[in-house]
Amino acid sequence: MSISSAIKSIQDIMRKDAGVDGDAQRLGQMSWLLFLKVFDAQEEELELELDDYREPIPEQFLWRNWAADNEGMTGDELLEFVNDKL
């Protein structure tokens, strides 16, 4: 899947969500989510390369611990986490 088709797919999903008003707000939210995903991938790489590496952000906020877990938070619990804690 190309990056443009992935972004279009994400936009289509976000357009259906209540509380997201306009492309400007969606763009900001997508940018934040993509940053967190890329940051987490970089963290995983550094953890493998460096023996004494420590994450600069708390473990609960790492992408792999809240977004990549298929059995993790959903619905109101996920919304509360993203809006109030993240």
Q: How far is CA 1 from the centre of its chain?
A: 18
Report how far residue 11's alpha carbon sits from residue 16's, in angstroms, rounded to the nearest whole number: 9
pLDDT at 49: 94
Cα–Cα separations (whole angstroms), residue 69 to 8, 66, 74, 85: 23, 6, 10, 17
Close Cβ partners of 7 (under 8 Å, ≥ 6 residues apart): 30
The per-residue pLDDT for range 7-46, each reduced to its tens digit, is 788 778 777 776 666 777 778 888 888 888 899 999 999 9
Q: Work out the number of other CB atoms within 10 angstroms of the CB of residue 40.
A: 20
Q: What is the dihedral of CA 27, 33, 38, 43, to 10 degrees?
A: 150
pLDDT at 16: 76
Comparison of pLDDT for 52 and 79, the residue scoring more: 52
The per-residue pLDDT for range 55-86, each reduced to its tens digit, is 898 988 888 888 887 888 888 888 888 888 88
The structure's pTM equals 0.66
